[in-house]
Amino acid sequence: MRRPISDVARMSGVTARTLRHYDEIGLLRPAGTSTGGHRYYEEPQLLVLQQILVLRALGVGLPEIGRILSDQTDEVDALRSHLRRLLTERDRLDALADTVSRTITEVEQARKDGRPVTINRPENLFEGVQPSHYEANMRDFPELAEAVGRRAATMSRDDTEAAHRDRTARMIRLAELMAAGHPADAAPVQAEIDAQYRALTELRSVSADEYRGIGRACVDNDAWRGAYEAIAPGLASYQRDAIEAYATARLG
């Protein structure tokens, strides 16, 4: 059954622009084009798209996905491999939930006792969190995802883990500002958002509209929303609103 690109975009949750990008880089060719020049897809292409999106959700970059797709010979074997990855990811999320739960307990106990927060085992703050998951699921921002992938490829393990800890700390600071009652456009919140924006622009220029799109993705993208909500309920919307305020005030 032929499905136009608009239908495939709707059912998969990716944009038509992203599907066109996948075609341009040879990752997912459509089944053909109509007499009007519009791309259409059939079941084999939908199966490939499913694999692409599963791998993107697991934090695999587009170049590596291309290699995986070109190397695989059997669809069922490929799906079994993806299933193993998903089960591993489930275990990681379980570990992340335990990590956040322990942190909440320690912070609440410190507040109850009226003392500074003391983490018994600081390394446990990062259990279950992998650096790649901060770059994962950027399928709606393919050019930025490629820039992130290129940067990651040049980083040492120590550099990657240091950057990961910095990003994690930023998310926690933002959650603390939210818990303290600061509105999304407050100066300390905007300082955190500015740091995030500057980190992005080290990789590639980011327009106001694109940054707003990234902010909306914090809520609209299930994986991103889950990561923020694991830190604190409501953090995804808070991040979105803070980015919107920053883009309006600083980027025009």
CATH code (residue 213) = 1.10.490.50
SS3 percent helix, strand, coil of the chain, rounded to 5, is 70, 5, 25
Question: How crowded is residue 234: how many other Cβ atoms within 10 Å of its Cβ?
Answer: 12
* 210 falls within a domain: yes
Residue 206 to residue 60: CA distance in whole angstroms: 22
Amino acid occupying residue 192? E
Question: How crowded is residue 142: how many other Cβ atoms within 10 Å of its Cβ?
Answer: 21
- What pLDDT does residue 61 have? 74
Whether residues 175 and 244 fall in one domain: yes
- What pLDDT does residue 161 have? 64
Whether residues 226 and 158 fall in one domain: yes
For 27-55, the pLDDT digits (tens) are 999 999 988 888 999 988 998 898 888 87
* 105 falls within a domain: no
Sign of CA dihedral 66, 158, 148, 54: positive
- Across 220-236, average pLDDT: 79
Residue 214 to residue 240: CA distance in whole angstroms: 8
User: Residue 189: how many CA atoms within 13 Å on its side-chain side?
Assistant: 22
pTM over 0.75: no
Whether residues 52 and 154 fall in one domain: no
Nearest to 241 by CA among 212, 221, 201: 212
User: Which CATH number goes with the domain that contains 26?
Assistant: 1.10.1660.10
Check: CB of residue 183 under 8 Å from CB of residue 227.
Answer: no
Whether residues 53 and 159 fall in one domain: no
* 117 falls within a domain: no
Structure tokens at 53: 């999106």
In Å, how far from its chain's centre is CA 124? 22
Point out the domain boundary residue: 71, 102, 117: 71
Whether residues 64 and 136 fall in one domain: no
Residue written as tokens 């979105």?
240
Whether residues 57 and 142 fall in one domain: no
Would the pLDDT of 219 be above 70?
yes
Question: How crowded is residue 74: how many other Cβ atoms within 10 Å of its Cβ?
Answer: 8
* 99 falls within a domain: no
Contacts of 43 (CB under 8 A, 6+ apart): 1
Which backbone phi and psi does 66 adopt, to 5 degrees? -60, -40
Amino acid occupying residue 155? M
Point out the domain boundary residue: 56, 71, 86: 71
Structure tokens at 32: 């053909």
* 106 falls within a domain: no
Q: Pairing mode, if any, of strands 3-4 and 39-41?
A: antiparallel
Point out the domain boundary residue: 71, 90, 112: 71
Whether residues 63 and 134 fall in one domain: no
- Across 146-167, average pLDDT: 67
Question: How crowded is residue 77: how many other Cβ atoms within 10 Å of its Cβ?
Answer: 10
Whether residues 246 and 134 fall in one domain: yes
Model confidence band, residue 244 (pLDDT cutoffs 50, 70, 90): very high
Boundaries of domain holding 51: 3-71
Whether residues 67 and 140 fall in one domain: no
Number of domains in the chain: 2
Whether residues 140 and 40 fall in one domain: no
